[in-house]
């Protein structure tokens, strides 16, 4: 029988049965290469010819103590991990090149080392002297972190085995290579094999590993998606280049809540933690401005207030633009359609720009109502009353659906000096001490009552 080969794309990780110049899944050119099997297994002779060992089974009621966690002392980093580092866990930290992955991990390594963990930082991208210089510039020169510049994974694993650290940071997985895999570093086969070796090593030896992964243009970890499945925790380091705010977001976590965020600010002295993100994402709001609406959101387990800004302007005939930063373009189209179909507010012939201030990315449907309010406010040139927060989900019928944790949202608003809230009628919590609530059944109510339009 002919040997069945498999080919994968280094952009999206898509698997194909034959080679081609262009990946059918993501459309990238020259990214497909043949996979080399991890190990040459014994020739299959059907089940029964080579029998495995019987594995031990246990029942769900068996008592296991929860793993002891170690706090780094960087509260925002520990928060994203779900309350500190779990021993023998494998973590992937992804992000655009230059966003600050190496910086935040060097700072985290220094914090962990200072709180007593044995940490090794392996850089495949920078020389040890470069990393050392950066550490000294960040005031971390005295932290007991062990450094190495190496890309040969076999040497790294041997060293880690001999040194037995508590935590090893591998920066980055795309630079690592195994001599048993015959393709270039950074290729799908290499990244997959290296990640597999490192994660199974972590479990076997009880060493936590943090892998750094670069992200492609379309926002995926470069190389195979499958790395995300191998690790326990996937964190994304996000932020707009022009902004100094950086957000570490847990997109997967076997040991804690996903969607938790840690907020940092990039300064000349490295990344500083931001303990009160709401204050940071709200711009100066002394005078109410048309088109600007404050959304009371929830990121992970914590409430975060942020500002939606909309601008609506006449468009050249037939060329209306919709431009979104920090929110989903499809969702914006839906809200524009609901406003037009259910409330009779057309946006045809108008350019629409929507922006979340501060470089935050919002994915909650609870932001629908804030977006609609920002669009209406911009279109009608009417500012919402000062000190108002808005939240609620919009359905296609134009009715408003209550969203979770309304009390938490309102309390955060009250803490930051907001006195008014606009929210769906059936929300669990309406007004609270110090915050007046305007509860609305549908979008038409918002259009009529608040903006006097429709
Ligand atoms: P880096 O951690 O090297 O990014 P990555 O590992 O994700 O590629 O961060 C590089 C950027 O961070 C670089 O553009 C400079 C900036 N930076 C600061 O602004 N302040 C600092 O103290 C440091 C160390 C970096
Ligand atoms: Mg780096």
Domain 75-275 class in CATH = alpha beta
Q: For 103-160, how does the pLDDT look when each residue is reduced to its tens digit (9 = 90+)?
A: 999 999 999 999 999 999 999 999 999 999 999 999 999 999 999 999 999 999 999 9
Atom 22 (ligand 1) nearest CA: 270
Decide which of 22 and 33 is more confident: 22
Q: Ligand 1: distance of its center to the CA of 443 in Å?
A: 44
pLDDT level of residue 224 (50, 70, 90 thresholds): low
Q: Indicate which residue's Cα is closest to atom 1 of ligand 1.
A: 100
Q: Which ligand is nearest to the CA of 124?
A: 2
**Is the CB–ligand 1 distance for residue 266 below 6 Å?**
yes
Choosing from 99, 103, 138 the residue with most ligand 1 atoms within 8 A of its CB, the one to mutate for a pocket test is: 103
Strands 119-123 and 167-171: parallel
Closest ligand 1 atom, CA of 269? 22
Give how far the C-alpha of residue 156 lies from the chain's centroid of Cα atoms, to the nearest Å: 28
Nearest CA among 217, 282, 271, 275 for reference residue 244:
271
Reported as type and span, the H/E element at residue 281 is helix 277-281
**Residue recorded with tokens 């938490």:** 408
Q: Write out pLDDT tens, residues 419-449.
A: 999 999 988 888 888 899 999 999 999 998 8
Q: What is the pLDDT of residues 320-331, one digit of tens each?
A: 899 999 999 999
pLDDT band at 36 (very low <50, low <70, confident <90, very high): low
Write down how long the chain is.
454
Cis peptide before 172 (omega within 30 of 0): yes
pLDDT digits (tens, 9 = 90+) for 254-263: 998 888 889 9
Closest atom of ligand 1 relative to the 266 alpha carbon: 19
**Residue-level pLDDT at 4:** 65
CB 375 within 8 A of CB 325: no
Its pTM stands at: 0.81
1 pLDDT tier (thresholds 50, 70, 90): very low
Mean pLDDT of 404-422: 92
The CB of 205 under 6 Å from ligand 1? The reply is no
pLDDT value, residue 45? 54
C-alpha dist (Å) from residue 368 to 200, 342, 364, 393: 43, 15, 8, 5
Residue closest via CA to ligand 1's atom 10 equals 98
Among 96, 100, 141, 170, say which to mutate for ligand 1: greatest number of ligand atoms within 8 Å of CB. 100
pLDDT for residue 49: 60
- How many angstroms does the Cα of residue 363 sit away from the middle of ligand 2? 27
The top-level CATH class assigned to 280-451 is alpha beta
Q: What is the C-alpha separation between 317 and 315, in angstroms, rounded?
A: 6
Distance, CA 266 to ligand 1 centroid (Å)? Answer: 8
Span 12-38, average pLDDT: 79
Ligand with the closest atom to the CA of 238: 1
Q: Is the pLDDT of residue 25 over 90?
A: no
Residue with CA at minimum distance from ligand 1 atom 2: 100
**The token pair that represents 235 in the structure block:** 């964190």
Question: Contact 31/184 with Cβ under 8 angstroms?
Answer: no
């Amino acid at each position: 029988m002919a040997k069945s080969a498999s080919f994968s794309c280094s952009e999206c990780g898509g698997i194909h049965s034959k080679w081609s110049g262009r990946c059918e899944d993501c459309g990238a050119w020259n990214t497909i290469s043949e996979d080399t099997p991890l190990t040459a297994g014994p020739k299959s002779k059907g089940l029964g010819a080579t029998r495995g060992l019987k594995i031990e089974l246990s029942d769900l009621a068996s008592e296991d103590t929860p793993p002891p966690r170690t706090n780094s002392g960087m509260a925002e980093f520990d928060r994203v991990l779900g309350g500190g580092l779990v021993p023998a866990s494998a973590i992937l930290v992804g992000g655009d090149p230059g966003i600050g992955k190496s910086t935040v991990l060097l700072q985290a390594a220094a914090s962990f080392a200072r709180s007593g963990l044995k940490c090794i930082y392996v850089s495949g991208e920078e020389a040890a002297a470069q990393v050392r210089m950066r550490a000294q510039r960040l005031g971390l020169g005295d932290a007991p972190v062990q450094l190495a510049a190496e890309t040969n994974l076999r040497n790294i694993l041997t060293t880690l085995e001999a040194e037995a650290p508590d935590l090893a940071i591998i920066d980055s997985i795309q630079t690592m290579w195994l001599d048993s895999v015959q393709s270039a570093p950074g290729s799908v086969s290499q990244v997959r094999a290296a990640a597999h070796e490192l994660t199974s090593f972590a479990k076997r030896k009880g060493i936590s590993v943090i892998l750094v992964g670069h992200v492609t243009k379309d926002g995926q970890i470069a190389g195979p998606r499958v790395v995300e499945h191998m690790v326990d925790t996937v964190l994304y380091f996000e932020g707009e280049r022009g902004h100094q705010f950086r957000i570490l977001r847990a997109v997967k976590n076997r040991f804690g809540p996903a969607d938790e965020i840690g907020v940092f600010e990039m300064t000349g002295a490295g990344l500083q933690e931001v303990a009160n993100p709401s204050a940071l994402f709200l711009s100066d709001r002394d005078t109410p401005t048309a088109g600007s609406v404050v959304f009371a959101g929830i990121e992970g387990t914590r409430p975060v207030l942020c500002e939606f800004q909309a601008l609506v302007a006449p468009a050249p005939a037939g060329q209306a633009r919709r431009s979104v930063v920090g929110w989903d373009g499809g969702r914006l189209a839906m809200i524009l359609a609901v406003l037009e179909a259910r409330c009779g507010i057309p946006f045809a012939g108008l350019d629409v720009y929507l922006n979340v201030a501060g470089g935050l990315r919002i994915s909650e449907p609870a932001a629908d109502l804030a977006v609609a309010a920002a669009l209406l406010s911009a279109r009608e040139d009417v500012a919402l009353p000062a000190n108002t927060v808005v939240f609620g989900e919009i359905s296609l019928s134009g009715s408003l659906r209550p969203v979770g944790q309304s009390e938490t949202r309102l309390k955060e608003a009250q803490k930051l000096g907001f006195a008014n809230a606009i929210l769906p009628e059936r929300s669990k919590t309406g007004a609270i001490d110090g915050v007046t609530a305007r509860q609305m059944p549908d979008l038409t109510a918002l259009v009529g009552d608040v903006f006097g339009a429709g």
